[in-house]
Structure 1
Amino acid sequence: MVADGQAMTTTSRVGLLATIGLLVTAAVWGSTFVLIKDVVDRMPVADFLAVRFIVAAVVMFALFHRHVARLERRQLWRGVMLGALYGLGQLLQTWGLSLISPSVSGFVTGMYVVFTPILATFLLRQRMSTSVWLAVGMATLGLALLTLNGFSVDLGVWLTLISALLYGLHIVGLGHWARADEAFGLSAVQMAVIALVCLLATAGHGGPTLPPDRSAWIAVLYMALVAGAGAMLMQTWAQAHLPATRAAIVMTTEPVFAATFAVMFGSDVLTWRMLCGGGLVLAAMYLVELTPRREPPAEAIHHEV
């Protein structure tokens, strides 16, 4: 009994650390919005993504090539599939963003919080509690308040919606396949495939162009190393310890952090919509973290398929 209690306490602590790690990841992603807007105004979007992820992949393989070599062939292919999903999601989201407003893009991208539990239910036969579905609804409403000022369904919305579906698949797959002791290797494989997908997208005009100046390079390096490699590593490790739906709800705090940074740096004004929307997203995260965890331990969830 004592040993069981200690194991539960350890699992709870690791789960808390995983949640904090995803919150830090969401904060990092939220900090990049201003930087991305500045850089893509001065270089093609596909080129920016290619350079960003190539730098991240090179650094990750330099640091973790031995971890990659230790991966089983099955895990290597899983990393390839996950990286392809994420890379295609990045391209479609960015393409959609060029056709619609950033606020609508932010809301539609955040719909992965809805797709994730649906996909987990149908693909993995995971049962979701009423409180989790309530949290999904609260997070969706919060995203709408945070980002929407008018909405129309056009090509950009459909492209972004498909990217959200791909992100949902990535979250479910990563949550099902990731193991804490393989986080370094699996993250490096994913990053290499993301870089390849983005590089292929630049083939039509002869390959990627480099950032035009020093400030652009600094921004790209930050997004490659911190918001790219570091965030992917943290997400992979954290999802080895959290169910996919919980992870998705925690990650919807990204627009909350984006709005916070926008207000802090004077590029936006604090409004009641920000306060209410951000409050709902945080309340959804709080609700799902307080929900009794009836799922089996992470070791049981990540079984072989």
Structure 2
Amino acid sequence: MTTVPARRASPALAAALGLVLVTASWGSTFPLLKDVNERVPVPDFLAVRFAVAAVVLHLLAPRAVARMAPEVRRRAVWLGLAYGAAQLVQTVGLQHTSASVSGFVTGMYVVLTPVLSALLLRQRVAPRVRLAVALATLGLAVLSLQGFAVGPGELLTLLGALLYAVHIVGLGAWATARDAWGLAVVQMAVVSAVCTVAAVPGGIAVPDRTGDWVALLYVALVAGAFALVVQTWAQAHLPPTRAAVVMTLEPVWAAGFAVAFAGEVLGWRTLVGGLLVLAAMYLCEVPRRGRPAGPGGADDAGPAARSTISA
């Protein structure tokens, strides 16, 4: 009797699940850091956080960076600069707008990513993925917005969202599973350097409480090092637009953790907005009947069809 071999899970499905875990780690930091950033300036905290992450990743795989081709290392530096600048611009923007508006505007990378993918990678965005982008945007609005006005804070935050989109598109174009670890190490080091430059004028402050150090180590190792390695690996298997839609789960996780551990009330906004984002992810990641669930399926250009962005 002939046995039928078990079907292996699609790399794209594994990548999407990996990004779900990444967004969960990011979302868990919101209630954790709510008080820490009142005691430690954000640029200082980010500089130390990403330095710790870079050092730990390097110690765990000391040859990962050396194995990378010079071109790959150069691309990792550009990606780190985009991500570090996004972190700082978003932080400055948050000082001039509300947290809810900042969360919504930052989430606009889900709209900007397919635009940049089309312009830079010449990738076609399938109609159902466009619908998923619209659903995710609506979900973010329901989750976050309770009034909106455009001012300097919103414009700076939008610039941050654009830089996040640049990072997602660049990672989608340049990431390979083989170089995921080394790419993460270089990016972490560059982000730490960018944040250190921003922190130096006022002197770099470090946490002076045990609890704050525990929080810093958690966000450095789990929501930083682990998350960026997994994100880099996942984006070697997913088109940038689909990755961006999955990553809009971050505020859903943040709301869930806030309800579970910070005593916040589960309101209709959290429920409806979260369901809309989940529907967007389902629309992106569940293949249509009769279509394969490959990296891009029949809808998007997968990693094999990427255009090259010169660096």
Contact 1:42/1:212, CA 8 A, preserved across alignment: no
Which residue matches 1:59?
A: 56
How do residues 94-133 of structure 1 correspond to structure 2 at under 5 angstroms? 94-133=91-130
What number of residue pairs does the alignment pair up? Answer: 296
| Mapping of residues 205-220 of structure 1, within 5 Å | 205-206=202-203, 208-220=204-216
The range that moved more, 100-109 or 293-302, is 293-302
What is the alpha-carbon distance in structure 1 between the residues aligned to residue 72 and residue 143 of structure 2? Answer: 38
**Match for 2:304: what amino acid?**
E
Instruction: Please tell me whether the aligned partners of residues 43 and 211 of structure 1 are also in contact (alpha carbons under 8 angstroms).
Output: yes
1:25-59 per-position Cα deviation (integer Å, ceiling 9, x unaligned): 00110000012221111111111111111111111
Task: Extract structure 1 runs of 4+ deviating beyond 4 A.
Answer: 302-305
Counterpart position of 1:88: 85
Q: TM-score, normalised by structure 2?
A: 0.92
Partner of 1:299: 304
Q: Deviations over 1:265-304 (max 9, x none)?
A: 2432111111111000000000011355124542343758
Change (3 A) 1:304 1:277: closer
Change (3 A) 1:296 1:103: closer
8 Å contact from structure 2 (residues 124, 301) kept in 1: no
Shift of residue 64, structure 1, vs aligned partner = 2.5
* Partner SS state of residue 63, structure 2: helix
**1:21 — aligned with what?**
18
- Could you tell me which runs of 5 or more consecutive residues in structure 1 were left unpaired when the two chains were aligned: 1-5
Between 94-103 and 137-146, report the one with greater CA deviation: 94-103
**How many angstroms does 1:67 deviate by?**
1.0
- Give the whole-Å Cα distance in 2 for the aligned partners of 1:268 and 1:107: 19
Determine whether 1:264 maps to 2:269.
no
Matches within 5 A, 1:174-253: 174-206=171-203, 208-253=204-249
Identity of aligned residues (%): 56
- Matches of residues 32-43 of structure 1 in structure 2 within 5 Å? 32-43=29-40
State which drifts further: 258-267 or 169-178: 258-267
| Match status 1:134 vs 2:121 | no
TM-score, structure 1 as length reference: 0.93
SS in 1 for 2:19: helix
Gaps in structure 2 of 5+ consecutive residues: 292-296
What residue is the counterpart of 2:294 in the other structure?
Answer: none
Which structure's residues are more often helix, by fraction? 1
Tell me which residue corresponds to 1:154.
Answer: 151
Partner of 1:288: 284
- Mapped contact 1:65–1:185 kept (Cα < 8 A): no
Pairwise CA RMSD = 1.5
